[in-house]
């Protein structure tokens, strides 16, 4: 490289000198070519200046010969005017390129700063969000403790009254006692529900996700909730369940979701009727349905079904002992289990609540698919 540079430099100086001596297109072109080659091979400004000096030095000597001097000087000045112009143009180009680069650089810096700022803001918001969630969790936990303490003595005292009575209470007193008992029971459920909702939504409590047999789970849920339905004169029945069906869920939580859906369906069924639970495969999902032939959900209430404390007709729900939190808890739980929940209803034509959870392949084929393994 270095020797190339040197020889190109010499060639350039030689060609330049020839042009200065003789003039003409061909020598000028040659000088130009050699100059370019010298620059491309890595010749620096200092070396180019040396080449120019060499050429000029020869020229200077030539200038001593009077006949050549005028023409040579003319050509030399033309050449340097051109070279200067080219150099100037390059310099302008360089300046422009530099300013474009500077602009791009500043733009990049601005973008980096903006991205950094955005990142910091998001992180602060996340920290703040997490802090608020923890405060909320702590608050709910504390409040529920403060509520449960007096409730423990109310509930306990009411439950102990019969054992302390020497004879039966008069009928009105018995009824009043029953009202107190029923409502302390409801308050207890309400506090439990608020805690459940908070625990599920805050994400601070882990869900124990395992592959579960859908059929046996549904049977279990029906058995557990049959006594409650029987009080309302309603029968819970297992409908069609595809064989070998499994999904991934936390078994306690999914039982709670089923209990909510089953008790809701029973509450809104006419006495003597039945509620049907079924399950089937829908692509990668297992879809569980709970169908009643009750009055259906009124049009105007449908968008609020999963909201907290939303009740289509608060008088009926209150009479049926609901807390108004069952469906919002169910939704939060199903979503924490990476599933979805919804309903189909027709006014006067019954309601089907359904949820979908990720299906697992049958045990023998692919256990890993269900454990969330890649």
Partner 1 sequence: MPRPPLSRVLLVEDDPDIQVVAWLALSDIGGFTVEVCSSGREALAAVSSFRPDLILMDVMMPDMDGIAALAALRARPAGYNTPVVFMTARAQPHEAARFRQLGSLGVITKPFEPATLAEALRGMWERHFN
Is 134 near partner 1 (CB under 8 A)?
no
Is 159 near partner 1 (CB under 8 A)?
yes
Q: Least distance (Å) from partner 1 to the CB of residue 325?
A: 18
Residues 273-312 close enough to bind partner 1 by CB under 8 A = none
Residue of 76, 18, 7 whose CA lies nearest to 47: 7
Which of 192/344 has CB closer to partner 1? 192
Q: Least distance (Å) from partner 1 to the CB of residue 155?
A: 4
Q: Is 2 left (phi over 0), alpha (psi -120 to 50) or beta?
A: alpha
Alpha helix (H) ranges present in the chain? 2-22, 25-40, 45-63, 66-164, 171-202, 214-231, 251-267, 314-319, 326-336
Which of 133/361 has CB closer to partner 1? 133
Site map (CB under 8 A) of partner 1, residues 227-246, x = contact:
--------------------
CA angle 246, 250, 254 (to 5 degrees): 80
Is 199 near partner 1 (CB under 8 A)?
yes
Q: Which of 74, 106, 117, 152 binds partner 1 (CB under 8 A)?
A: 152
Is 371 near partner 1 (CB under 8 A)?
no
What phi and psi, each to the nearest 5 degrees, are found at residue 157? -60, -45
Give Cα 283 to chain centroid, integer Å.
Answer: 24
Is 166 near partner 1 (CB under 8 A)?
no
Which of 94/139 has CB closer to partner 1? 139
Q: Least distance (Å) from partner 1 to the CB of residue 332?
A: 16
Alpha helix (H) ranges present in 233-356? 251-267, 314-319, 326-336
Is 183 near partner 1 (CB under 8 A)?
no
Q: Least distance (Å) from partner 1 to the CB of residue 114?
A: 42
Q: Least distance (Å) from partner 1 to the CB of residue 209?
A: 15
Which of 164/303 has CB closer to partner 1? 164
Residue of 309, 333, 321, 216 whose CA lies nearest to 268: 321
Beta bridge partners of 275: 236
Is 157 near partner 1 (CB under 8 A)?
yes
Is 163 near partner 1 (CB under 8 A)?
yes
CA angle 107, 109, 114 (to 5 degrees): 95
Q: Which stretch binds partner 1 (CB under 8 A): 46-54, 85-93, 157-165, 262-270?
A: 157-165
Could you give the C-alpha distances from 7 to 4, 48, 55, 324, in angstroms and in order?
Answer: 5, 12, 15, 94
The helix (run of H) or strand (run of E) holding residue 359 is strand 351-360
The separation between the first and the last C-alpha atoms of the chain, rounded to the nearest angstrom, is: 55
Q: Least distance (Å) from partner 1 to the CB of residue 250?
A: 11
Could you give the C-alpha distances from 286 to 333, 339, 358, 362, in angstroms and in order?
Answer: 16, 10, 6, 13
Q: Which stretch binds partner 1 (CB under 8 A): 123-131, 152-160, 284-292, 342-350?
A: 152-160
Which of 128/174 has CB closer to partner 1? 174
Structure tokens at 326: 């069952």
Q: Which of 136, 181, 186, 188 binds partner 1 (CB under 8 A)?
A: 188
Q: Which of 6, 54, 136, 148 binds partner 1 (CB under 8 A)?
A: 148
Q: Which of 14, 63, 73, 151 binds partner 1 (CB under 8 A)?
A: 151
Residues 68, 71, 74, 77: is their CA dihedral positive or negative? negative
SS3 label, residue 170? coil
Is 160 near partner 1 (CB under 8 A)?
yes
Is 156 near partner 1 (CB under 8 A)?
yes
Is 153 near partner 1 (CB under 8 A)?
yes
Write out the residues near partner 1 by the rule CB under 8 A: 141, 144-145, 148-157, 159-160, 163-164, 184, 188, 199, 205
């Amino acid at each position: 490289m270095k020797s190339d540079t040197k020889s190109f430099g010499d060639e350039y100086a030689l060609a330049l000198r020839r042009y200065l001596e003789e003039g003409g297109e061909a020598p000028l072109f040659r000088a130009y070519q050699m100059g370019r080659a010298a620059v491309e091979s890595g010749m620096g400004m200092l070396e180019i200046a040396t080449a120019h000096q060499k050429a000029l030095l020869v020229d200077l000597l030539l200038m001593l010969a009077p006949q050549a001097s005028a023409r040579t000087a003319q050509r030399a000045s033309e050449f340097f005017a051109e070279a200067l112009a080219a150099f100037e143009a390059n310099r302008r180009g360089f300046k422009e390129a530099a300013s474009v680069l500077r602009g791009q650089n500043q733009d990049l810096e601005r973008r980096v700063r903006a991205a950094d700022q955005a990142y910091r803001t998001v992180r602060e918001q996340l920290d703040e969000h997490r802090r608020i969630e923890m405060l909320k969790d702590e608050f709910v936990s504390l409040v529920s403790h403060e509520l449960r303490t007096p409730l423990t003595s109310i509930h306990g005292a009411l439950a102990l009254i019969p054992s302390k009575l020497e004879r039966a209470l008069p009928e009105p007193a018995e009824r009043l006692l029953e009202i107190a008992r029923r409502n302390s029971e409801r308050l207890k459920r309400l506090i439990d529900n608020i805690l459940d909702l908070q625990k599920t939504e805050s994400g601070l409590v882990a869900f124990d996700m395992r592959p579960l047999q859908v059929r046996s789970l549904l049977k279990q849920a029906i058995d557990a909730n049959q006594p409650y339905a029987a009080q309302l004169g309603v029968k819970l029945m297992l409908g069609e369940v595809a064989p070998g069906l499994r999904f991934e869920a936390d078994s306690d939580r999914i039982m709670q979701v089923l209990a909510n859906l089953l008790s809701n369906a029973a509450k809104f069924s006419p006495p003597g009727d039945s509620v049907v639970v079924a399950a089937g495969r829908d692509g990668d999902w297992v879809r569980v349905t709970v169908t009643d032939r009750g009055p259906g959900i009124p049009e105007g209430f449908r968008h609020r079904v999963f909201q907290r404390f939303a009740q289509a007709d608060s008088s009926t729900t209150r009479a049926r002992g609901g807390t108004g939190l069952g469906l919002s808890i169910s939704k939060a739980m199903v979503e924490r289990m990476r599933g979805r929940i919804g309903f189909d209803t027709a006014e006067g034509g019954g309601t089907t609540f359904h949820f979908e959870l990720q299906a697992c392949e049958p045990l023998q084929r692919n256990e890993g698919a269900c454990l969330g393994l890649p």
